[in-house]
């Protein structure tokens, strides 16, 4: 029985999509000049005896471009939410108003913009490494299939070229995402 290249490619594609999704989430957490609910998503709040994602204790909103609000559902958790945002290392200073926690976004300094662009570069490189690891797994799988006599040398070469093309496409998408994120960070 001949192996199905479509299934192999779908698996590799699914894994490379995972790397892209991770990169998208990491980029979402990088603060640019604009407010975004994704900025607070990684924040964990000490609530009910455990660390909970902030999205499970309140609703995040963006009423204006430089302001994020968190409508806390349980009045008793307002100070815990404030503390979690303050301690998250995002350089934000929240203040509460009843059950609403307001988080104004300060202007980014040139130094902070450079730092964020560097962080974006690191995230992109990690995504590239993940995509290349998926490619390596795919290539090793093809080698094994050829060695076991399930595919010919020609099929191995053709399929290797397809896997490489797939990889190149994902690396290009990562690079394009990085360029647009850096432009967004540097925009004043």
Each residue's pLDDT tens digit, 76-105: 899 999 999 888 777 788 998 888 999 988
Looking at residue 168, what is its pLDDT?
Answer: 96
CA dist., res. 29 & res. 60, Å (int): 14
Q: Which residue has the higher pLDDT, 39 or 74?
A: 74
Is pLDDT at 177 greater than 70 in this prediction?
A: yes
The confidence band for 32, taking pLDDT boundaries of 50, 70 and 90, is: low
Each residue's pLDDT tens digit, 34-51: 777 878 888 899 888 888
Each residue's pLDDT tens digit, 100-126: 999 988 777 888 788 888 888 999 999
Looking at residue 3, what is its pLDDT?
Answer: 67
The rounded percent of the chain whose pLDDT value lies above 70 is 96
Q: Which domains does the chain have, with CATH numbers?
A: 5-28+109-186 (1.10.132.20), 37-104 (3.30.1360.40)
Each residue's pLDDT tens digit, 135-161: 999 999 999 999 998 888 999 999 999
The rounded percent of the chain whose pLDDT value lies above 90 is 44
The confidence band for 1, taking pLDDT boundaries of 50, 70 and 90, is: low
Looking at residue 81, what is its pLDDT?
Answer: 92
Looking at residue 107, what is its pLDDT?
Answer: 79
pTM of the model: 0.69
């Amino acid at each position: 029985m001949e192996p199905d290249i479509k299934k192999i490619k779908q698996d590799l594609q699914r894994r490379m999509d995972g790397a892209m999704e991770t990169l998208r989430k990491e980029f979402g957490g990088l603060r640019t000049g604009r407010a975004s609910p994704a900025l607070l998503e990684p924040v964990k709040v000490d609530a009910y005896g455990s660390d909970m994602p902030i999205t499970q204790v309140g609703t995040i909103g963006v009423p204006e471009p430089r302001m994020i609000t968190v409508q806390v559902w349980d009045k008793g958790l307002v100070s815990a939410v404030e503390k979690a945002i303050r301690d998250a290392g995002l350089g934000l200073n929240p203040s509460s108003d009843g059950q609403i926690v307001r988080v104004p976004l300060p202007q980014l300094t040139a130094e902070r913009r450079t730092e964020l662009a560097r962080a974006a570069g690191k995230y992109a490189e990690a995504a590239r490494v993940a995509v290349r690891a998926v490619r390596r797994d795919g290539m090793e799988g093809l080698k094994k299939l050829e060695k076991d006599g399930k595919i010919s040398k020609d099929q191995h070469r053709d399929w290797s070229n397809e896997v490489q093309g797939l990889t190149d496409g994902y690396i290009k998408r990562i690079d394009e995402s990085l360029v647009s994120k850096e432009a967004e960070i540097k925009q004043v």
